[in-house]
Amino acid sequence: MMSKRGRRPKTPPTWIMHWDIRVKKRPNSDRVDKTYRHKVEGFQCRSLIEVARYETQGIRPRRSKVKTKDKEESRSRTKTVTKEMLVAERKEAAEDMRPIVEDFLSQAHYKQIHMVKPRATESAMLYM
């Protein structure tokens, strides 16, 4: 017997007896999702590959951490930052640095002017 997509279904492995298979139809589609729940241990796998990995190697499936509300809010905040907001933040930072830079430049200028004392002959030549 052929399946809907034209492939012959594989014979299920012998260890599949240890699992409850739940079939859930996707909304707005003809496809279905199968989840496998272990009858004794009670944990769930989302694919036959995960089930096979557990049965052959004893490796349980890992689940990623559920997103917290704070992480989702911070992610949405970073997406809403526009170029104008970045430019405004940079201008504000530049204005905060302005007095520091001006003070540094005036000190550097003063030190540059007074660093070298001209020799007597050079100063005399300047006024000739």
Q: pLDDT tens digit string along 60-98? A: 888 766 666 666 666 666 666 677 788 888 899 989 999
pTM of the predicted model, to two decimals?
0.44
For residue 14, the SS3 value is helix
Query: Which has the closest alpha carbon to 36: 23, 25, 26?
Result: 23
pLDDT exceeds 70 at position 57:
yes
In angstroms, the CA 123 to CA 100 distance is 35
Least confident interval from 7-21, 23-37, 107-121:
107-121
13 φ, ψ (degrees, to nearest 5) = -70, 160
End-to-end CA distance of the chain: 113
Q: What is the pLDDT of residues 31-41, one digit of tens each?
A: 999 999 999 88
Non-local (6+) Cβ contacts of 98 within 8 A are none
How many whole angstroms separate alpha carbon 72 and alpha carbon 68?
7
